[in-house]
Structure 1
Amino acid sequence: MSTRAAKRQTKLDLDPTTVRKARSLARKAGRPIVTMARKHTTVAVERATLRLAGLEGADPDGTPWVNRLLDVVRADVGLEHGVALPVWDALRRGEADDLATLAQKASAGSVTFRLPEGREATRAGAAARRQVASGVKRIDARRRERDRLVARWGDAPRQPWIYLIVATGDIYEDIPQAQQAAREGADVIAVIRSTGQSLLDYVPEGATREGFAGTYATQENFRLMRAALDESSKELGRYVRLTNYASGLCMPEIAALAGLERLDMMLNDSMYGILFRDINPIRTFVDQRFSRQVHARAGIIINTGEDNYLTTADAVEAAHTVTTSQLLNEYFGKEAGLEDWQLGLGHAFEIDPEIPDSFRMELAHALLARELFPDAPLKWMPPTRHMTGDVFRGYLLDGFFNLAGALTGQGILLVGMMTEAVVTPWLSDRDLALQNVRYVMNAAGNLAEDFRPAPDGFIAERARRVLGETIDLLDRIVTDTDAAGDPPLLAAIADGTFGLMKRPADGGRGLDGVARKSAAYYNPATEILEEGQ
């Protein structure tokens, strides 16, 4: 641990035994979920495996070939064995010369798949592993490329990194806006996804120009934006990072595409899709584990979504659910191979500003997160819920948010817009927002080094209370017994513990795309990724 991190840990005088207990309870709550995830696969995991093996493109109707091929394999032999053995068995039997041709023939109904056994299964598995390994090697090469470019062009001068959103719906409009935002000081550009893409069970193909409140996440859009930001990085003399969303029904596939196209951050939360998109909990946990294994290999920083809880639940009463989720995301992330520097755990400035001492409570919550996760690049989210349309009040709130970020040493600071929840921000709104950030950060300097709340004062007491409530909640979760034998965390999610959303384990979108693995199941991507941990 760095000296700076060690200094941070002394500010709230948190009891080390209490912190260890919180992490221990998070492990107990998370471990049954990991066991469950290991025993299941999903259509998205299998399609991601085909993408790592190099299968690209779509049919004339826009349906990706990975979907077409998997659908036929599933109809012939089921999902529970995985896609690798049936597909590479067919290739070895001469049904086609490559994956693309095989997918086209399968879609036309001219290929029948089988589950090979014995020596044939061994040979099919070896062939599948060789081809998937080539995709993983491409991800490794993109990671090394990022390291070289950061060394060549330099990095952002200091944290927090300034994180700014573009979201026109048209990738060719997003590019110049992203480049200009980088010139104005943004360190991270996030391309918001088109509304509803998380509910699509396929990844659109090609460059897109007609998104709704965002731009579709596609491999070609990733490639175009990454190339544009590389131009900006060279111009500015600092590496500009690119963010998108690995969530929803295609989480594993988008994670794989992000690794192949050298994205730097991905929004990837363990429970967001369950709570706010009503995606089946089992599907989500299986998909998120695989996606995080890919992110770990690719050197991608994940951003988690705890800030969303505070848009539906009260930010004071539900503060401990944010900390609970952060601890769970930390456990799930590290189990999948992520390191501390890759854990962009989320939280937000969402307390009603009319509440007395609201700013002090915001500081308590932010400092608690900073000290619990001293080496994580925490993602600090601006006020949204209590923005009223009064742009002057909103601009002031954003200034307080920026100051809280400076005081508590946040790692990634999303730029707040004074017109939040009123209109889609104009470029001038963004310019003013960036001026706000620059002023506060320049004026505050390293104020985090000087900020030390009184040991028994309001801030320290509030932080310790939230941590205590977190331990109480985790203790209730791990001691709960479910009649169906499901992991206790699934029961807590079903009860509306997080974000007031009740999501039962047998409900939600995408459950029909989950299968329990058979004894013959084989996935070379999972095998390779787990070997690298």
Structure 2
Amino acid sequence: MKLGLDPAVVSKARALAARAAEPVIELARTHTTVSVERAVLRLAGVTGADADGTPWVNRITDAVREQAGLEHGVALPVFHALNEHGIELGDPLSLLETTFAVPTGARATLARKHARAAVARGIATIDHNRAERQRLLREHGDPAMPWIYLIVATGDIYEDIPQAQAAAREGADVIAVIRSTGQSLLDYVPEGATRQGYAGTYATQENFRLMRAALDEVSAELGRYVRLTNYASGLCMPEIAALAGLERLDMMLNDCMYGIIFRDINPIRTFVDQRFSRQVHARAGIVINTGEDNYLTTADAVDAAHTVVASQLLNERFGHEAGLADWQLGLGHAFEINPDIPDSFRLELAHAQLVRELFPDAPLKYMPPTKHMTGNIFAGYLLDAFFNLAGVLTGQSILLIGMMTEGIHTPWLSDRDLALENVRYVRRAVGALHEDFVPAPGGFVAERARQVLSETVDLLDRVCDSSLLTAIAEGTFGVTRRPPDRGRGLEGVVRQADTYYNPATDLLEQA
């Protein structure tokens, strides 16, 4: 440890984060959502959509809610109907022609048994994929950190594939297929391979499968495993997490508050969905990436630095409670201080080193400058180089490639090539300089880090005095105010009854 942080202050910060998180965790344990229940059906093997493109899992979940109530969960009514009418799960149209009811006695026992067996098969597929990832890592090799993370976003999965493979050949270690704008607000997951998307490509199971196969192909060619990332956020967070596990994705964007603050998704819906999705990620061996960098696009990166650290501590607590290990917590932060401020680079180093020392075993994801990119591509390229230098110097784990054309247009392949050249040069030239970077005791960097940590403790103390939901409603994180009784998706939240049964949660919590 290089900053001389007081261990007692660090312990206090974690204890306060745990206190602040506990009421929300209890809320998540005692509620379900339509997307959690649809994820259960997906794990049980329900696939496809009707002639209008509405997924069968949506149709079935809506019918169960209308006829039997979702407070009991979807599993018991569905498998009771299958048992009573001799229908296969692969025949959703016939299933929808039945009437759903909550079974009791021996019928409930039988439905519970069959539901658990079906979901267990889905989780077995996730287990197999996790083992397959480990086999491929042994066979092809795992690139050294920092991993170079690059976004592909054409809207057409068949255009994304060659671009992703080309990026891997040029040095990218992680390919992120950014989602089409607005998908996070859809309360269903589209079906099939998609060829139209705005500023991104739709997250679907088939798109996941196609890109995973393409990156496996290039991994074998290059002799290093290339990781695949997508987004488990929005109104379908649990379902997309399940699909990621079923198709062997390696990382997923999955933040506890991003959807609340930046997409106006109801806070309770988000917290319930994120707990289930993280349980799936934990089982699948998926690394999550959190979204604290986004706070600094709306708030000042110096004044709000402590809100980033507070959110990281909360994300850590929520992640641990859901079963994620430290090596799966890709906590996010960003290089977003105004470059015109004196000592801006020293401030960036202080913030980055603080996060590195607070979470020594986490694969931290460091985001490049965006807010202060002006359109001057030469200044932008220099700023990205400083970002790469800060990342390597403070031992960050995942560097998202910065583009000198950030905010001007969707990057061309030539822009990505130059960005990769930039980070390759810095990584090669700097080498293991992080071993020699030791801030002066009591100097500017160390004192700034201690100041941010102290402000983090004060903030978490205030959150504990009110509540996390109140803090979010007051705009504490990312400035925007989001009250718990408003926001998209609130109608999809249901308090669990005493008879609630979720075979997926049961199986995941036993792991």
Q: How high is the TM-score relative to the length of structure 1?
A: 0.95
Tell me how far 1:337 sits from its aligned partner: 0.4
State the aligned residue count. Answer: 511
Contact 1:350 1:382 in 2 (8 A): yes
Tell me how far 1:424 sits from its aligned partner: 1.1
Q: Work out the percentage of aligned pairs sharing the same amino acid.
A: 74
What corresponds to 1:62 in structure 2? Answer: 53
Matched, 1:458 2:444: yes
Contact 1:68 1:106 in 2 (8 A): no
Instruction: Give the Cα separation in 1 of the matches to 2:389 and 2:135.
Output: 33
What corresponds to 2:241 in structure 1? Answer: 255
What are the residue-to-residue correspondences of 1:71-470 with 2, within 5 Å?
71-94=62-85, 96-101=86-91, 103-107=92-96, 110-156=97-143, 158-470=144-456
Instruction: Give the Cα separation in 2 of the matches to 1:262 and 1:355.
Output: 44
AA matched with 2:120:
A
Contact 1:65 1:100 in 2 (8 A): no
Instruction: Give the Cα separation in 2 of the matches to 1:97 and 1:119.
Output: 19
> For 1:413, what is the secondary structure of its paired residue?
strand
Instruction: Give the Cα separation in 2 of the matches to 1:522 and 1:504.
Output: 29
Instruction: Give the Cα separation in 1 of the matches to 2:328 and 2:427.
Output: 23
Tell me how far 1:106 sits from its aligned partner: 4.5
Tell me how far 1:479 sits from its aligned partner: 1.2
> For 1:500, what is the secondary structure of its paired residue?
coil
Equivalent of residue 494 in structure 1, options 465, 473, 488: 473
Tell me how far 1:97 sits from its aligned partner: 2.3
What corresponds to 1:483 in structure 2? Answer: none
Give the root-mean-square deviation of aligned CA atoms: 0.6
Instruction: Give the Cα separation in 1 of the matches to 2:317 and 2:382.
Output: 36
Instruction: Give the Cα separation in 2 of the matches to 1:97 and 1:112.
Output: 13
What corresponds to 1:14 in structure 2? Answer: 5
Matched, 1:25 2:16: yes
Tell me how far 1:120 sits from its aligned partner: 1.2
Instruction: Give the Cα separation in 2 of the matches to 1:413 and 1:270.
Output: 21
Tell me how far 1:189 sits from its aligned partner: 0.2
Contact 1:268 1:288 in 2 (8 A): yes
Instruction: Give the Cα separation in 1 of the matches to 2:88 and 2:267.
Output: 35
Contact 2:82 2:95 in 1 (8 A): no
Instruction: Give the Cα separation in 2 of the matches to 1:256 and 1:465.
Output: 40
What corresponds to 1:511 in structure 2? Answer: 490
> For 1:266, what is the secondary structure of its paired residue?
strand
What corresponds to 1:6 in structure 2? Answer: none
> For 2:90, what is the secondary structure of its paired residue?
helix
Tell me how far 1:79 sits from its aligned partner: 1.0
AA matched with 2:119:
V
> For 1:100, what is the secondary structure of its paired residue?
coil
AA matched with 1:91:
L
The ranges of structure 1 where at least 4 consecutive aligned residues each deviate by more than 6 angstroms after the TM superposition are none
Instruction: Give the Cα separation in 1 of the matches to 2:442 and 2:382.
Output: 29
AA matched with 1:97:
I
Instruction: Give the Cα separation in 1 of the matches to 2:477 and 2:194.
Output: 35
> For 2:46, what is the secondary structure of its paired residue?
coil
What corresponds to 1:3 in structure 2? Answer: none
What corresponds to 2:33 in structure 1? Answer: 42
- Structure 2: stretches of 5+ with no match in the other structure: none
AA matched with 2:87:
D
Instruction: Give the Cα separation in 1 of the matches to 2:238 and 2:487.
Output: 18
Contact 2:87 2:94 in 1 (8 A): no
> For 2:159, what is the secondary structure of its paired residue?
helix
Contact 2:231 2:254 in 1 (8 A): yes
AA matched with 2:111:
A
Instruction: Give the Cα separation in 2 of the matches to 1:400 and 1:285.
Output: 36
Q: How high is the TM-score relative to the length of structure 2?
A: 0.99
